Amino acid sequence: MIIFKNVNKWFGSLHVLKDINLHIHPGEVVVVCGPSGSGKSTLIRCINQLEPIQKGEIYVDGIQVNKRSTNLTKIRSEIGFVFQQFNLYPHLTVLENVVLSPIKVKKVPRKEAEENALRLLERVGIPDKANDYPSQLSGGQCQRVAIARGLAMNPKVMLFDEPTSALDPEMIKEVLDVMVELAQEGMTMIVVTHEMGFARQVADRVFFMDEGQIVESNTPDEFFDHPEHERTKEFLSKIITHN
Amino acid sequence: MLEHFSFRVIGQYLPLFLKGLWATCWISGISIFFALIIGVVACGMRLSKNKFFQKLAGIYIESIRSTPLLAQLYFFYFGLPSLHVNLNEVQTGILALALNSGAYIAEIVRAGIVSIPHGQVEAATAYGLNYFQRMRYIILPQALGVTIPALLGQFIVLVKDSSLVSLISVLELTRAGQLMASERFMPAEGFFTVAAFYLLIYYILKYLSNWWQNRLIYMEGH
Ligand SMILES: Nc1ncnc2c1ncn2[C@@H]1O[C@H](COP(=O)(O)OP(=O)(O)O)[C@@H](O)[C@H]1O
Ligand SMILES: [Mg+2]
């Protein structure tokens, strides 16, 4: 589904991704964790080419994305992306936020797009907010709208960049619940998060990133109970005392 | 002093003033319309990744903003015919006003655009919207929203600036005052009336601007 081959990325002289190789299968849920600045966001932003890479190859569903001839719009419309800061469009209602890309990019008829959007809003638990503006919603509700916006494209993969880090503690669960459900329905997901409960419950694999490399990759139970690397142990001890 | 002030003559000249007022309004209206288009295009070029467009827009904006409008007006009025481009006075006036205002509008819109948080643009990119769709559906609606007061301010400036086209003998408000002043030797009455009409236009635009600003505050309050 998603393949990285010797991927390298630099910001100027800063080497942020170092020879990344990975292979994610359809239906798999992968959690990525690691210290701040280790390159987690950059890793998933490369997948839909929000960040270009300088070396290596990235494939999504068999298509190489880092090639000039690739139709990026098509690739992007098959990948849902959920940002830490929600990044909803504040001048549009919740419904308009969700239907914009299906209508403009996928050319879905408005009526069909709206019906689908209402179903998705129901699924993320906020059917009554369709005509509100994002500024009228709580953070947790905003993030659920953002997830609905992603699902509206009928994506093959959903990418999450620290979806609960900007939320007040009491709202984290409502967002995680939606994500757990999504995972159990078989969605392919890559989730950058430090929510260990989520990782244990639904992840197939956990990656630990440090200084631009995937240092460790394992099943959640192995990863949390028997970390192999020093850096992983150190990192886990920090987030455990923190939680 | 006021007993010498001839309201009767003002009354006589009223049809001329109204004709001038109308001309000022439509010349300004057409000019601001083209200025908006020029401004948005120039701004898009300046913010584009293409170095050539960037440079071109930069040269246009800088050269307009660093020279007086009167010089620009004369440049088109006297310069274009020698390039075998023949426009009448009104067309020349509109061209100069639109190009002049366009440069200022480009900067106003740019300020509005850079005020849009980058995350939204990223989200729109991630969801497959291309450059024009991002502009059309995400950036411009918000950028224009917050810049409407500044744009109306620019429109007020343009209305006042349009008085300069009287110098190439277009009959508009100021020209009407000049005619009355020179035909009846009544500069006080003539230009007082001109000023009063400009004030009227100003208050109407100002009212619109305030109305919009309140609406904006109301929308943000939600
Ligand atoms: N747009 C950018 N320009 C320059 N450096 C960047 C940019 N984005 C991220 N970086 C740097 O790249 C490194 C990895 O960042 P990031 O992928 O955001 O890490 P993480 O998500 O793990 O915190 C950091 O050192 C960060 O400062
Ligand atoms: Mg990050």
**Blockwise average pLDDT, block size 10, chain B, 222 residues:** 75 91 94 95 92 96 96 93 89 96 95 91 95 90 83 92 90 91 88 93 89 70 46
Question: For the residues A207-215, what does the mean pLDDT come to?
Answer: 95
Q: Which amino acids bring their CB within 6 angstroms of ligand 1?
A: A 11, 14, 16, 34, 36-42
Secondary structure element (H or E) that encloses residue A117, with its range: helix A110-123
Q: Mean pLDDT score of chain A, rounded to an integer?
A: 94
Residue B222: per-residue pLDDT = 44
CATH architecture of B2-221: Orthogonal Bundle (1.10)
pLDDT tens, position by position, A31-45: 999 999 999 999 999
Distance (Å, whole) CA B43 – CA B150: 15
3-state helix, strand, coil in chain B (%, to 5): 85, 0, 15
Contact (CB, 8 A) for A141 and A102: no
Question: For the residues A101-120, what does the mean pLDDT come to?
Answer: 96
Pocket test for ligand 1, best of A32, A41, A192 (most atoms within 8 A of CB): A41
The residue type at B123: A
Cβ contacts of B130 on chain A, cutoff 8 Å:
73
Question: For the residues A110-127, what does the mean pLDDT come to?
Answer: 95
Over its C-alpha atoms, chain B yields an Rg (Å, rounded) of 21
Question: For the residues A77-85, what does the mean pLDDT come to?
Answer: 95
3-state helix, strand, coil in chain A (%, to 5): 40, 25, 35
Contact (CB, 8 A) for A32 and A43: yes
Residue A202: per-residue pLDDT = 94
pLDDT band of residue A176 (cuts 50, 70, 90) is very high
Contact (CB, 8 A) for B27 and B170: yes
Phi-psi label, residue A188: left if phi above 0, alpha if psi -120 to 50, beta otherwise: beta
Question: For the residues A72-93, what does the mean pLDDT come to?
Answer: 94
CA distance A24 to chain B (A): 20
Contact (CB, 8 A) for A44 and A161: yes
Q: Which residues lie across from A23 on neighbouring strands?
A: A3
pLDDT band of residue A148 (cuts 50, 70, 90) is very high
Residue B217: per-residue pLDDT = 65
Nearest CA to ligand 1 atom 26: A37
The upper half-sphere exposure of residue B36, i.e. CA atoms within 13 Å in the direction of its Cβ, equals: 13
CA distance B54 to chain A (A): 22
Q: Spell B22-58 as b/e; 16+ CB within 10 A means b.
A: ebbbebbebbbebbbebbbebbbbbbeeeeebeeebe
Cβ contacts of A48 on chain B, cutoff 8 Å:
126
Q: Note the ipTM here.
A: 0.90
Q: What is the 3-state secondary structure (H, E, C) of B29-94?
A: HHHHHHHHHHHHHHHHHHHCCCHHHHHHHHHHHHHHHCCCHHHHHHHHHHHHHHCCCCCCHHHHHH
The three-state secondary structure class of B157 is helix
In the numeric block, the tokens 């179903």 are attached to A119
With the CA atoms of B161, B166, B171 and B174 taken in that order, what torsion angle do they form, in degrees rounded to the nearest 10?
60
Report the DSSP pairing between strands A205-210 and A29-33: parallel
**DSSP letters along A77-115, please?**
TTEEEE-TT----TTS-HHHHHHHHHHHTS---HHHHHH
Task: Report which bound ligand comes closest to the CA of A44.
Answer: 1
- Which residue in B has a C-alpha nearest to residue A106's C-alpha? B128
B115 contacts chain A (CB < 8 A): no
pLDDT at residue A84 greater than cutoff 80: yes
